[in-house]
Amino acid sequence: MKCTPVKVDLLTEEEALTLFRSIVVGNDTVLAPDVEEIAAKIAEECACLPLAIVTLAGSCRALKGTREWRNALDELISSTKDASDDVSKVFERLKFSYSRLGNKVLQDCFLYCSLYPEDHDIPVKELIEYWIAEGLIAEMNSVDAKFNKGHAILGKLTSRCLLNSFTDGSGGECVRMHDLIRDMALIITASSPRFMVKAGERLGSVPYEDWSEDLERISFMHSWIRGLPVTPPVCPRLTTLLLSHIHNFEEIPDSFFTYMCCLEVLDLSNNSLKSLPESISNLENLHALLLEDCYRLADMPSLKKLKALKVFKLTQSKIEELPEGIEELINLRKLDLSYNRGLGPFPSWKLRRLSKLQYLRTDTTKIQVSVEDLLCLKQLKVVAVHFHNVQELNRYVRSQQFQGMEKYRLIVGKEVGSFAVNLGNEVVICPAESVPFGSVADDLVLPANVNYFHLFEVHDLVSLSAIPCWNGARDLRACSVKRCNGLECIFSEDGQISLGTVESLSLDDLPRFRVLFDRIAPPHNIYSNLKELSFWACPTVKNIFPVQFLQNFPNLESLRAYKCNNLEDIVSETAEMSDWGDHEDDSNTISLPKLKGLYLGFLPSLKSIYNGMMVCHSIEEVEVRKCPLVRRLPLSLHMDSEQATAPPSLKDIMGEDKWWESLVWDDPRAKQILQPFQRQPGTYRFTQTFFFLEQQAPLKI
């Protein structure tokens, strides 16, 4: 790709001082006069380079008093006096911020980021997990406490401007290293501590002589290499080896790990390995063995000598039997066996030997655990497991041990596919066909702090209001119902439940589902917090909202309806609705003040979104795909000083050109005003924050 060089001018001395001051104390605070003078000299030492100013200013935020400021200036001048050229001076100025971290743990955590490829978006959660595995974060009794410590470390590094924090497109927390900051870190690790970093590089092979005896950490993550040395490298000081996400990485020489006796962290995740070499079995100092998403892995050597192992992650593999010797991992804190769909069983005596476990995942496997097994794991804080039946779930939820659980996913019944939600506190019901759920629905116990509740293939349930335990779930945020062939409604006259805290409701593949409310008027604000409502393959639904019920959805942000073949109206005012009282507003205009997205697709019978007009000041996206009978877009124009404009937040109206040209407009100005926002729909993909789709990647906890 051709790049055009862009000249970035240096700052003036005044601009440099202003930038420096704004980072140290902000724009609303002034420095003491004597400190201001020193700050000006430090800014001057940065040679008006913006990155150097930002980085040094970050390191000076914690300085207190004139003497600390003078000491910082003295150290900065001293650090650059032996630099032989301008480039060396720049790196020494950047290194000054690293040196002033003071704490070796902070320095090591910072240097660890250089193991990632250049310009890489580093997931915060993954990074902290590495730090925990490396022992950079001390052992604690709480999983949350370890992550809190990791976030505190990141806070210090970002506040010193050594890392930039941001949120990626999917909402995940990430950090990134500036190229020059990373170069500075690599210069440091070229000597002590000694790293070999080939992350993100395209390599033929790595010469044997590059594997020197003084290496402490090695990273090939996200790289392209043909293979590893056949002769086992002699790396007696090596503690970290990251071989994850390597393109077409299919084989490791059998004796490769023979002379890596101090290895503590080994990451072989996201590779095409079919088996692991026997030499792994002798890594007696190994603390973390990471084998996530190894789709082709079918064979593993014995683990019985790896008694120092604290973290073992084996997910999405073809492994069908527990690795030999897993019961000998008596120091194990974290065990993740999720999404090994052929894996099972896990004998009780083996599981109970792992008494130090704080984190256990066996969800989406054939492994089912007993309450007795879990109660033997006294230190357990995070759990995601399958139970045989509802009675087992109830016993565990009522146990004293469960009251201290930090995160959980409790599944009754069989494996149910992939989850597309971040781990919260979840209960999933997918009972065996031979066990009618209706017979135990009255007995079901939901934890008071459950956030997500999911029903799969519960065929003998007609209404969700038949489950009385809803009322005790005071923190419930999301509910999804999928492939429940008998379900007809959410609320019926036979029972009342409280869903006032629910923010997301997903209804998927429900052949008999007809209405949200059956023969009852909804209690006021029954869905006052609902933000996302989704219908997918509900062929019996004819309309979603009677217009009189919209007042119960004041916070609705996203509405999706796909593949509901008999859906005729989104908002309707049908004759039978007259029983629920008069419509408050006879103007034929409704308001959905928080609605951001309206997504309609593959609805062959849909005739109307709404017969009147919809005022949606927050609307950002509208999608109408494969809805051939829809002839009106009831979007009200925004009036700004008597000038008609598009809704202020509108970004896209997605619909085929043929459909757009066929629309009939109530306001003759509307088509011209909205035309710039119309575009062809992209590749079809149905996504939902709290929805389940087998095609989506499984969650990472």
Instruction: Identify the domain containing residue 138 by its residue range.
Output: 101-177
For residues 53 and 173, membership in a common domain is answered with no
160 and 228 inside one domain: no
> How many domains is the chain partitioned into structurally?
3
Cα(102)–Cα(157) distance, integer angstroms: 12
Span 89-93, mean pLDDT?
75
pLDDT tens column, 468-525: 777 778 889 999 999 999 999 988 766 666 677 899 999 999 999 999 888 777 665 6
Among the residue ranges 239-248, 307-316, 430-439, 496-505, the one predicted with the least confidence is 430-439
Give buried/exposed letters for 631-652 (b at 16+ CB in 10 A, else e). ebbbbbbbeeeeeeebbeebee
Task: Tell whether the model's pLDDT for residue 449 goes beyond 50.
Answer: yes
Beta strands across the sheet bearing 173-176: 122-123, 173-176, 164-167
DSSP class of residue 250? Answer: -
**One domain for residues 124 and 41:** no
Query: Is 399 domain-assigned?
Result: no
Q: What is the pTM of this model?
A: 0.83
pLDDT for res 20: 78
Q: Looking at the structure, tell me whether residues 285 and 319 fall in a common domain.
A: yes
Domain presence at residue 67: yes
Partners of residue 455 on adjacent β-strands = 429, 481
- CA–CA separation, 516 vs 643, rounded Å? 39
Q: How far, in Å, CA of 288 to CA of 291, rounded? A: 10
Is residue 290, in this structure, part of any structural domain at all?
Answer: yes
| Integer CA distances (angstroms), 148 to 107, 132, 138, 602, in order | 18, 11, 12, 45
How many CB atoms sit inside 10 A of residue 450's CB? 22
Q: What is the DSSP string of 568-630?
A: -EEEE--GGGGGG---S-TTSEEE-TT--EEEEES-TT--BS-SSEEE-TT--EEEEES-TT-
Q: Are residues 217 and 284 in the same domain?
A: yes
Q: How far is CA 181 from CA 95, 110, 112, 125, in A?
A: 8, 10, 12, 21
Q: Do 253 and 280 lie in a common domain?
A: yes
**Which of residues 121, 142, 177 is at a domain's end?**
177
106 and 80 inside one domain: no
> Which residue carries 């070499």 as its tokens?
277
Query: How far apart are the C-alpha atoms of 85 and 93, rounded to whole Å?
Result: 12
For residue 679, report the phi and psi dihedrals to the nearest 5 degrees.
Answer: -150, 160
**Pairing outcome for strands 195-197 and 173-176:** unpaired
d(CA 435, CA 368): 16
Six token digits for residue 24: 């140290």
Distance CA 412, CA 435 (A): 11
Q: What is the phi-psi region of residue 494: left when phi exceeds 0, alpha when psi lies from -120 to 50, beta otherwise? A: alpha
Grade residue 62 by pLDDT with cuts at 50, 70 and 90. confident
Which of helix, strand or coil describes residue 406?
A: coil
Phi and psi torsions of 261, nearest 5°: -65, -20
Q: What is the CATH number of the domain that holds 155?
A: 1.10.10.10
Same domain, 312 and 202: yes
- What per-residue string of b and e applies to 406-444 under the rule 16 or more CB within 10 Å gives b? bbbbbbbbebbbbbbbbbbbbbbbbbeeeeebeebbeeb
The torsion defined by the Cα of 654, 656, 659 and 663, in degrees rounded to 10, comes to 40
Residue 280 has pLDDT above 90, yes or no: yes
| 94 and 105 share one domain | no
CB 150 within 8 A of CB 254: no
Per residue in 317-361, pLDDT tens? 999 999 999 999 999 999 999 999 999 899 999 999 999 999 999
Mean pLDDT of all residues belonging to the chain: 86
Is 231 part of any domain? yes
What pLDDT is recorded for position 684? Answer: 46
The domain boundary residue, chosen from 98, 129, 155: 98
**303 domain residue, yes or no:** yes
592 in a structural domain:
no
* Portion of the chain with pLDDT greater than 90, in percent: 58
Answer with the residue of higher pLDDT: 364 or 620.
620
The predicted-structure confidence for 563-586, as pLDDT tens digits, reads as follows 999 999 999 975 444 344 334 445
* Predicted pLDDT of residue 434: 54
Query: Which pair of structure tokens corresponds to residue 82?
Result: 């032996």
CA gyration radius, the chain: 30
Highest mean predicted confidence (pLDDT) among 88-102, 445-459, 637-651: 445-459
pLDDT at 80 (0 to 100): 63
pLDDT at 394: 93
In percent, the amount of the chain with pLDDT more than 70 equals 87
Residues 288 and 212 in one domain: yes
pLDDT in tens, 30-57: 778 888 888 888 777 766 567 777 877 7
Q: Give the tokens for residue 628.
A: 């051939």
- 450 or 492, higher pLDDT: 450
Domain boundary pick from 289, 305, 332: 332
* Domain presence at residue 69: yes
Instruction: Report CA torsion sign: 359, 297, 240, 180.
Output: negative
Q: Is residue 340 part of a domain?
A: no
> Cβ-count burial of 33 within 10 angstroms (0-12 exposed, 13-18 middle, 19+ buried)?
exposed
Six token digits for residue 478: 């999301």
The DSSP bridge partners found for residue 505 are 479, 533
Distance between CA 87 and CA 6 in Å, rounded? 19
Q: Tell me, what CATH number does 232's domain have?
A: 3.80.10.10
Higher pLDDT, 269 or 45: 269
Q: Is the pLDDT of residue 374 over 70?
A: yes
For CA atoms 175, 145, 355, 136, the dihedral sign is positive
Same domain assignment for residues 258 and 327: yes
The verdict on 38 and 146 lying in the same domain is: no
